[in-house]
Amino acid sequence: MDHVAVLLLELGLLFLGLSVLGILARRLGLSSVPFVLVAALALGEGGLVPMTATQPFIEVAAEIGMVLLLLALGLEFSADELFTSLRHHGPSGLVDLLLNAPPGLVAGLLLGLPWEGALALAGVTWISSSGIVARLLGDLGRLANRETPAVLSVLVLEDLAMALFLPLLVVTLAGGGPMAAVGGIALAGAVLVLALLAAQRQGHRLGRLMGSDDDEQLLLRLVGLALLVAGLAQAVGVSAAVGAFLVGLALPASFAERARSVLGPLRDLFAATFFVAFGLSTDPAALLPVLPAVLVLALVTAATKVATGWFAARRDGVAAPGRLRAGTVLVARGEFSVVIAGLAVAAGIPGLGPLATGYVLVLAVAGPVLTRLVESRARADGLRRDRR
């Protein structure tokens, strides 16, 4: 059969399959990330139905998907929100780092990963899934709860920290020494500070330049700028993901809301291909040997995330039930963990792909389930008190 025909047939079946998985995930009240990863495992090397014609397209689309994911993440926050979070919840961010990164680092070393792979695994276990958490808060009607600002502050600080962690990881994976790593962090830190200051003082001007009444023009300008900055960031060793995140961060809140709505469908499409690409790179047969380690690591870091949320909510004076809700909603790992693992896998770190895939699969499902169980129990307790 003609190569183009095979390509179109494979892509058509892939996107239709992703649509079915998305519907299933929504009905179960879960994120679509674990479903997409499982489907990709079945399609990749060692899977049931290998995909060959679409491989080059998926690889390119995955890079665009990572850029759009980080661009959309930057659009969620303003510079003022970041400065406020740093002032009030800096200690919460430090506790988050100290509780959740070391388990991944230690596990990586114990499992025989090179230290660069252990560093990547520390990032995988450290950061919660902003997308899954945001959706859970909306679905459960908890956006106005007292503990929610603490949860969002932890997420903001994690995303901000990733702007420094990713350049460190990229330099490390490239074989750079300690001085190169320090230089990468310094450069990323300087760029981040400049971007925050520019967003705070000149963001409205950038918003006017980017703005348009025509959705097509707005989307072309937004994606074009994000890809351009991401490419420049990658060229100087800062990481394309950080560049895209800073573009979203630099845009004013008045523009960001409309930009999110216009960008949403395109981001979701390319983000799905990003998760597919990561799943395709993992051999399903390699998951079984690491399953015990995955389950232990998931259990430990679920507990440390609950402790993180508890600490952050306590700083805001939230009562014990709210602290528990804050902790459980942070348990889910997802898109950013896959981004970090994807960088390491692309750099040729052996063994990290199956470990990270299994870990994200477990916590992307267990996090929402645990959150909903806590919510159901709280409502049941409230009903019992009302009856008394």
Q: Which CATH number do you get for residue 315? A: 1.20.1530.20
Q: Which of 56-60, 93-97, 163-167, 238-242 has the lowest mean pLDDT?
A: 238-242
Confirm whether 360 is domain-assigned.
Answer: yes
Range of the domain at 88: 25-381
Task: Name the more confident of 194 and 44.
Answer: 194
**Residues 6+ away with beta carbon under 8 Å from 114:** 349
Confirm whether 9 is domain-assigned.
Answer: no
Does the pLDDT value for residue 277 go beyond 50? Answer: yes
**pLDDT band at residue 45 using 50, 70 and 90 as cut-offs:** low
Q: Residues 350, 289: contact at Cβ < 8 Å?
A: no
What is the average per-residue pLDDT within 132-157? 80
Q: What is the pTM of this model?
A: 0.76
Confirm whether 79 is domain-assigned.
Answer: yes
> Residue 92 — φ and ψ, nearest 5°?
-65, -40
- How high is the pLDDT of residue 386? 44
Task: Name the more confident of 80 and 42.
Answer: 42
Total residues found in the chain within this entry: 388
Q: Of 304, 360, 357, 362, which is closest to residue 154 (Cα–Cα)?
A: 304
- How high is the pLDDT of residue 387? 46
Q: Of 174, 62, 130, 104, which is closest to residue 333 (Cα–Cα)?
A: 130
Q: Of 56, 38, 55, which is closest to residue 47 (Cα–Cα)?
A: 38
For CA atoms 49, 52, 53, 55, the dihedral sign is positive
**pLDDT band at residue 79 using 50, 70 and 90 as cut-offs:** low
Confirm whether 13 is domain-assigned.
Answer: no
Angle at 350 between CA 346 and CA 352, to 5 degrees: 80
Confirm whether 8 is domain-assigned.
Answer: no
Confirm whether 386 is domain-assigned.
Answer: no
**DSSP 8-state symbol, 53:** T
**pLDDT band at residue 69 using 50, 70 and 90 as cut-offs:** confident
**Exposure class string for 61-92: b at 16+ Cβ within 10 A, else e:** bbbbbbbbbbbbbbbbbbbeebeebeeebeeb
Domain count, the chain: 1
- How high is the pLDDT of residue 276? 82
What is the average per-residue pLDDT within 293-299? 95
Confirm whether 20 is domain-assigned.
Answer: no
Confirm whether 174 is domain-assigned.
Answer: yes
Query: Which value, to the nearest 10 degrees, does the dihedral of the CA atoms of residues 181, 183, 185, 191 take?
Result: -150
- How high is the pLDDT of residue 384? 52
What is the average per-residue pLDDT within 243-261? 78
What is the average per-residue pLDDT within 247-251? 78
